[in-house]
């Protein structure tokens, strides 16, 4: 890892950040309400484009997050903007929470599908009808994973909104260059 100081994130980090934000937002909007109840009534998820898109984008979030974590381990040093220790702690807490949710959301979706016996339906007609390792595990019975997934989906949108608001506060009020570190092109600092 390069530890040389920089005033902005590298291009791959910016692409991962913004692409993940867009994909998570679209997946959230397309997230079907009461998915489990519809499935129990016999609805075929492959016939519901919102479900197919939601599940496909959910797996894309997992792939992007894993690739992004790999990139974080290899990328140049992240920008270091001087700020109070309380702000630094809050920023770290927010990053940890968002990273945790980016990993937990797809995992809880798979746990929900597997524990409830629902198929995973993806773009291109890809379908996984059963997850026997999940369905037969003790973990499947611990919680209603669909409810957990829904709660975490709401949580990530709330935290992402707070994250965006904090970036705007830094940009408009503190004028410390935090937002510009993640913006492509000309630096606004």
Averages of pLDDT over runs of 10 residues in the chain (189 residues) are 65 95 95 69 72 93 96 89 92 96 94 82 84 74 87 96 95 90 68
- Whether the CB-CB separation of 106 and 99 falls below 8 Å is answered with no
d(CA 35, CA 16): 29
- Whether the CB-CB separation of 116 and 45 falls below 8 Å is answered with no
- Give me the residue spans of the domains in the chain: 11-182
d(CA 173, CA 179): 11
Backbone angles phi, psi at 120, to 5 degrees: -95, 125
d(CA 49, CA 59): 15
pLDDT of residue 5: 53
pTM (two decimals): 0.85
Contact partners, residue 161, CB within 8 Å, separation at least 6 = none
Strands 127-128 and 120-121: antiparallel
pLDDT of residue 42: 66
Among residues 150, 162, 35, 146, the alpha carbon closest in space to that of 98 is found at 162
d(CA 114, CA 128): 10
Domain 11-182 class, CATH top level: mainly alpha
d(CA 189, CA 179): 9
Q: CA 41, 135, 32 angle in degrees (round to 5)? A: 40
pLDDT of residue 159: 98
């Amino acid at each position: 890892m390069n530890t040389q100081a920089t005033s902005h994130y590298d291009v791959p980090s910016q692409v991962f950040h913004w692409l993940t934000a867009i994909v998570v937002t679209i997946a959230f909007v397309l997230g079907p309400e009461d998915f489990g109840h519809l499935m129990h009534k016999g609805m075929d998820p492959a016939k519901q484009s919102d479900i197919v898109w939601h599940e496909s984008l959910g797996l894309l979030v997992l792939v992007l997050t894993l690739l992004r974590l790999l990139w974080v381990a290899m990328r140049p040093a992240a920008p270091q903007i001087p700020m109070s220790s309380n702000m630094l702690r809050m920023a770290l807490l927010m990053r940890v929470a968002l990273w945790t949710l980016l990993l937990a959301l797809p995992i809880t979706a798979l746990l929900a599908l597997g524990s409830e016996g629902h198929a995973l339906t993806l773009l291109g007609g890809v379908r996984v009808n059963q997850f026997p390792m999940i369905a037969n595990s003790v973990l499947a019975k611990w919680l209603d994973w669909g409810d957990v997934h829904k709660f975490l989906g709401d949580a990530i949108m709330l935290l992402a909104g707070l994250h965006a608001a904090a970036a705007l506060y830094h940009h408009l009020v503190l004028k410390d260059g935090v937002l510009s570190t993640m913006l492509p092109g000309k630096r606004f600092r």
